[in-house]
Amino acid sequence: MKNRKKLLPLAVIAALVVLAGCASKPDNYYTLASAVPASEAAPPTRGTAAPLYIELAPVAVPERLARPQMVVGRANGSVQVDVLEQHRWAASFENELQDALASGIAARLGALDVTKGGRQSSQPVWRVAVQVRRFDAVDGGRVDAGFNWTLRRSDQPRTMACQLDVGEAVAGGIDAVAHGAQRVTAAAAAAIARSVNAARADPAATACPT
């Protein structure tokens, strides 16, 4: 008796080929964190008589951005955006942004980031709460963002409210968009660090430095 080979339907074969092609295409992961230039970094306060602590609350972002996939707008004023499955942040956008801001602020202040713990309750900490009003990226166009934040020292009643609008032109390609987003995030971290320094220098200050 001859062996009869079972043939798969063409539609099934085509589907398997497509799935194999998708599975073989690697995801691209990006981070918003970047190295702080030596000219902007402050000496660490760890081990000094007055160590500086910062604590960053979870960052509030627009719902459409609360995902690991990069969300990129289309050029020429289109209202459409693309959610890029193959281009993702290393964590969900709001978590990636929180980590990048916290590390950038801490480095610029020489502070200890105690966002995830590590501080005794008797030690005062500068608490920062950031809200992202917008974070718009267009491939081959710009990355534009708006940030609001408040800061308060845990043992003081005063709260300082600040905001920043910042933008960066970007060349074509998703790598360029990611670098533009990094620069915008670094600018926000620098502005928040300046506001902490202003509040430390003037206990009566309620306005952020420009």
**pLDDT confidence of residue 210:** 64
User: Per the domain annotation, does 23 fall within a domain?
Assistant: no
**pLDDT confidence of residue 47:** 81
Q: Which domain holds residue 156?
A: 28-201
User: Per the domain annotation, does 2 fall within a domain?
Assistant: no
User: Per the domain annotation, does 156 fall within a domain?
Assistant: yes
**pLDDT confidence of residue 111:** 95
**pLDDT confidence of residue 19:** 53
pTM of the model: 0.85
Beta carbons of 146 and 165 less than 8 angstroms apart: yes
Torsion sign, CA atoms 47, 157, 95, 146: negative
**pLDDT confidence of residue 11:** 58
User: Per the domain annotation, does 148 fall within a domain?
Assistant: yes
**pLDDT confidence of residue 209:** 72
**pLDDT confidence of residue 12:** 55
List all residues 6 or more positions away from 102 whose beta carbon is below 8 Å from its beta carbon: 54, 56, 113, 115
Beta carbons of 128 and 151 less than 8 angstroms apart: yes
**pLDDT confidence of residue 7:** 56
**pLDDT confidence of residue 122:** 76
**pLDDT confidence of residue 48:** 85
- What does pLDDT average to in each consecutive run of 10 residues of the chain (210 residues)? 54 53 70 95 88 95 96 86 95 97 97 83 90 96 97 92 96 95 98 95 79
Burial 73-83 (b: 16+ CB within 10 A, else e): beeeeeeeeee
Q: Considering its fold, how many domains does the chain have in total?
A: 1
User: Per the domain annotation, does 209 fall within a domain?
Assistant: no
User: Per the domain annotation, does 18 fall within a domain?
Assistant: no
**pLDDT confidence of residue 9:** 63
Q: What is the CATH number of the domain that holds 132?
A: 3.40.50.10610
Beta carbons of 181 and 137 less than 8 angstroms apart: yes
